[in-house]
Amino acid sequence: MLLSAPSHFHDTDTAAARAARLVDAAHGGKDNFADDQETLAQLLAVAPDYCEAVGQAYAFIARVTAHLLDRGLTRFIDCGPQFPRRHNNIS
């Protein structure tokens, strides 16, 4: 599904793929555009397990976050290239 730029992306360059939008596309998100989807298709041609790896990375972050919460750590800084997600581990 190709998207046009939503209003909250008004200053975003959608003409070139970006890391965060590529990860979003690989994880089935909605905040990506035609160039991101085309780049993902090219990436999957040479690395067909990429989408699975993205899912595993998110699962790892969830496990680490849960472990740190169990140990009493309650403040986190997320410095990754991803967009905030509906089921974000850190809120």
Residue 90 in any domain: the answer is: no
Give the domain extent around 32: 7-70
Q: pLDDT value at position 14?
A: 75
Residue 30 in any domain: the answer is: yes
Q: pLDDT value at position 58?
A: 86
Residue ranges, the chain, pLDDT below 50 = 1
Residue 75 in any domain: the answer is: no
Domains identified in the chain, total number: 1
| Three-class DSSP labels, 27-91 | CCCCCCCHHHHHHHHHHHHHCCCHHHHHHHHHHHHHHHHHHHHHCCCCCCCCCCCCCCCCCCCCC
Residue 86 in any domain: the answer is: no
Residue 42 in any domain: the answer is: yes
